[in-house]
Amino acid sequence: MAQAFPSATEVQIELITTIVSMFVTIFVLVSGFLTKKMGQKTIAVIGLSIASVSSIIPAFSNSLSLIMISRAVLGVGIGLANPLAISLIGEFFEGDTLANLMGWRSAVAGAGVAIMTFFAGQLIPVSWHASYLVYLLFIPTLLLFIFFVPSPEKYGLKAGKDGIIEETKTTENEESHGIWPVIGLGLLLFGYFACLMVMMVKLATFFVNAKIGTPTQASNILSIIQISQLVGGALFGIAYKHLKKLVFLIGLLVSGISLVGIALSSSVSVITMWSIISGFFGGLAIPYIFTRVAELSNTKEAPLNNAICLVGSNMGSFLAPYVGQMLGSTAGAAIKNAGIALLIITAIIFIIYFIDKLKQKN
């Protein structure tokens, strides 16, 4: 694309990617407020429709300005729909089924990123225009959503013990737990993703500076992390059924130990092992947050509550380079201190969990 637009600056070309994330972050919050007035399914359909149209404009346009606008509008569409992909699971399911589906949602999201990135890469030799055709996947997604997802404002679907889906009217006076517990979970996601992304953005530099390997090898390890996160997410439901709240503490603890292990390692094979462990246990930890949000939310609150958590994770990822600068002057030190920060967060949560258990006992 830089060759296709020689008069554009490097920053302008890079903005084609980052402008989407900026508008996603803004409209994730807007989505939470709009759903209270218009309903979750309506906003999801609007968001997916906007994304379906705007996403493929770069496949046919040679105007940099139009492409930039279309990417911003794509961010609007994704931002409107994104929180609902999580909150709607909580509207129709509960208990172990809810936890299991939250894990699969995380796994499918990772698989979607991997598959679309792969096919975009295969289309690049045809032309950079062709790579944008991967977004045509929005269309079947939109159609499936319109025809198969009921409106949660009218019907909350709960899985019966025998596996039969029973249709029940959603009550008007559902219990509200307030917004502060959700803000706390959003801050938790911010801290987790900020620490994790420090490792991901610093790994290639760490490989070169420590003379461990090449940036390509570091990139391959990042791909392995994504795959192991997918596996962890798929197994979250089983882990949650047996461990409940402890699944998150264990996931966070092992993730922190893994980052420290990566920073103290000097061979590609050992770092690969720690990365697989980190990805797997991270895949177990993150679905718990959104499962907990679903348990704390009623129908009207769910989209905004999930939006708050998504903003926390997005901002943590966005600010990771700055967090890395504060954590260490070298890539290795930053990764090690990010792991230590996760261990401190784990210790704080464990203390809160222990105090809460004592209060319940008393």
Residue 337: give its domain's CATH number: 1.20.1250.20
pLDDT, tens only, 139-159? 999 999 999 988 887 765 433
Q: Is residue 111 part of a domain?
A: no
The tens digit of pLDDT for each residue in 45-59 reads: 999 999 999 999 999
Assess if residue 216 is contained within a domain. Answer: yes
Same domain, 265 and 192: yes
CA distances from residue 74 to 11, 53, 132, 225, 276 in whole angstroms, order as listed: 19, 8, 12, 27, 33
Quick one: how far is CA 39 from the chain centroid? Answer: 23
Q: Are residues 339 and 201 in the same domain?
A: yes
**pLDDT one-digit tens code per residue, 175-194:** 556 788 889 999 999 999 98
Q: Is the pTM of this model over 0.85?
A: no
Q: DSSP assignment, residue 134?
A: G
Q: Are residues 322 and 184 in the same domain?
A: yes
My answer on whether 218 and 314 are in the same domain is yes
Is residue 139 located within the same domain as residue 195?
A: no
Percentage above 70 pLDDT, the chain: 94
Q: Establish if 281 belongs to a structural domain.
A: yes
Do residues 254 and 353 both lie within one domain? yes
Strands (E), the chain: 155-159, 165-169
Instruction: Give yes or no: residues 132 and 205 share one domain.
Output: no
Do the beta carbons of residue 322 and residue 107 sit within 8 Å? no
Where does a domain end: 151, 166, 193? 151
How many beta carbons lie within 10 A of that of residue 351, not counting itself? Answer: 10
User: Are residues 23 and 146 located together in one domain of the fold?
Assistant: yes
Range of the domain at 257: 180-361
* Residues 147, 193 within the same domain: no
Q: Strand pairing of 155-159 and 165-169? A: antiparallel
The total domain count for the chain is 2
Residue 146 lies in a domain: yes
Residue-wise pLDDT for 105-114, tens only, equals 888 887 887 7
Collapse the DSSP code of 159 into the 3-class scheme (helix H, G, I; strand E, B; otherwise coil) and give the result.
Answer: strand
Calculated CA dihedral for residues 136, 141, 147, 150, nearest 10 degrees: -150
